[in-house]
C-alpha cells in the first residue's frame, strides 16, 4: 500500500506547478500589455520621438511675407511653434522688415576710462506688429539692458568697425533676452546705429 500511496501523494503537486506557471504567464502578459499601452499613449501625446508637429501658439508673432514673394505656403503668415525661436534671421528675400527707432539716444560711460559714448539706435524685425508692440511696452527694461551693454565697452574697441559690429550683435542679444523674459518671444533681427559719438 505504501507504493500505491506514493503516486497518489505526487498527483496533487502537479496542479500546483501548473497554477504557478499560469500565474507567471498572466503577470508577464499584464506587464506586456501595460508596456504596449504606455508606448501608444506616449506616441499619441508626442512624448516619443515621433513625427508629431509642435502646437502653434496663436498669439505668437508671425513672419510678414513680402508682396509677391514665393512663400510655399500660399501666402499665409508663418507662425513659429510654441516655445521655438532661433537667433537666425528669416530670409530677407521672402519677408518684409519693419523698422523702429528709439526716440532718445543712449548715453553711457565707457569701461575703465573717463570717456563716454552716445548712440542713437533703431531695430528691425521680420515679424508682425506684435514684436514692435512688445518692444514699446517694455522700453524701460530694454533701455536698461542696452545701457548695461554699452557700459561694458571700451573706447578703443567701440571705435573700430569690428567693435561696432560686435556691439550691434551684443545689443540685439540683450534686447531679445529682455523680450523673451518678459513676453516669451524676442523677434528683433537687427540693430542699427542712427548716430554715434565716442569721447
Q: Is residue 103 domain-shared with residue 28, that is, in the same domain?
A: no
Residue 63, in any domain of the structure: no
| pLDDT tens by residue, 73-90 | 444 445 544 344 555 678
Q: pTM of the entire structure?
A: 0.65
| pLDDT tens by residue, 36-71 | 777 777 666 655 555 555 566 677 889 999 887 665
Q: Is residue 104 domain-shared with residue 172, that is, in the same domain?
A: yes
Instruction: Kindly tell me the sign of the dihedral angle through the C-alpha atoms of 11, 14, 16, 19.
Output: negative
pLDDT of residue 75: 46
Residue 73, in any domain of the structure: no
Give residue 18's pLDDT band: very low, low, confident or very high (50, 70, 90).
Answer: confident
Residue 30, in any domain of the structure: yes
Q: Is residue 24 domain-shared with residue 111, that is, in the same domain?
A: no
Residue 70, in any domain of the structure: no
Q: Is residue 111 domain-shared with residue 190, that is, in the same domain?
A: yes
Question: By the 8 A CB rule, do 62 and 37 touch?
Answer: no
Q: Is residue 102 domain-shared with residue 189, that is, in the same domain?
A: yes
Q: Is residue 113 domain-shared with residue 187, that is, in the same domain?
A: yes
Q: Is residue 118 domain-shared with residue 190, that is, in the same domain?
A: yes
Residue 124, in any domain of the structure: yes
Distance CA 47, CA 35 (A): 14
Residue 56, in any domain of the structure: no
Q: Is residue 189 domain-shared with residue 123, that is, in the same domain?
A: yes
Residue whose C-alpha cell is 524685425: 125
> Residue 184 maps to which CATH number?
3.30.479.30
Share of the chain above pLDDT 90, in %: 49
Residue 83, in any domain of the structure: no
Distance CA 158, CA 191 (A): 15
Q: What angle do CA 70, 61, 56 make, to 5 degrees?
A: 85
Structural domain including 176 reads: 98-198
Q: Is residue 177 domain-shared with residue 104, that is, in the same domain?
A: yes
For residues 96-114, b (16+ Cβ closer than 10 Å) or e, as one string?
ebbeeebeeebebebeeee
Q: Tell me the backbone φ, ψ of residue 77, rounded to 5 degrees.
A: -70, 135
184 backbone φψ class: left, alpha, beta (φ>0; ψ -120 to 50)? left
Residue 17, in any domain of the structure: yes
Total count of domains within the chain: 2
Which cell numbers in the block locate residue 8?
497518489
pLDDT of residue 41: 75
Q: Is residue 102 domain-shared with residue 41, that is, in the same domain?
A: no
H, E, C per residue of the chain = CHHHHHHHHHCCHHHHHHHHHHHHHHHHHHHHHHHHHHHHHHHHHCCCCCCCCCCECCCCCEECECCCCCCCCCCCCCECECCCCCCCCCCCCCECCEEEECCCCEEEECCCCCCEEEEEEEEEECECHHHHHHHHHCHHHHHHHHHHHHHCCCHHHHHCHHHHHHHHHHHHHHHHHHHHHHHCCCCCCEEEEEEEEEC
CA 108 to each of CA 155, 168, 199: distance values in angstroms, whole numbers, following the listed order:
11, 15, 11
Amino acid at each position: 500500500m505504501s507504493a500505491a500511496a506514493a503516486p497518489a501523494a505526487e498527483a496533487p503537486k502537479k496542479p500546483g506547478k501548473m497554477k504557478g506557471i499560469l500565474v507567471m504567464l498572466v503577470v508577464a502578459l499584464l506587464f506586456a500589455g501595460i508596456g504596449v499601452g504606455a508606448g501608444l499613449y506616449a506616441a499619441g501625446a508626442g512624448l516619443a520621438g515621433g513625427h508629431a508637429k509642435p502646437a502653434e501658439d496663436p498669439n505668437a508673432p508671425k513672419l510678414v511675407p513680402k508682396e509677391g514673394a514665393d512663400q510655399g505656403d500660399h501666402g499665409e503668415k508663418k507662425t513659429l511653434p510654441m516655445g521655438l525661436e532661433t537667433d537666425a534671421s528669416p530670409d530677407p528675400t521672402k519677408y518684409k522688415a519693419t523698422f523702429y527707432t528709439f526716440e532718445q539716444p543712449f548715453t553711457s560711460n565707457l569701461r575703465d576710462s573717463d570717456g563716454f559714448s552716445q548712440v542713437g539706435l533703431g531695430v528691425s524685425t521680420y515679424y508682425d506688429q506684435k514684436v514692435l508692440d512688445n518692444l514699446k511696452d517694455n522700453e524701460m527694461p530694454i533701455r536698461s539692458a542696452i545701457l548695461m551693454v554699452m557700459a561694458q565697452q571700451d573706447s578703443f574697441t567701440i571705435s573700430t568697425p569690428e567693435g561696432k559690429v560686435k556691439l550691434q550683435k551684443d545689443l540685439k542679444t540683450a534686447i531679445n533676452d529682455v523680450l523673451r523674459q518678459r513676453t516669451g518671444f524676442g523677434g528683433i533681427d537687427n540693430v542699427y546705429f542712427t548716430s554715434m559719438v565716442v569721447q
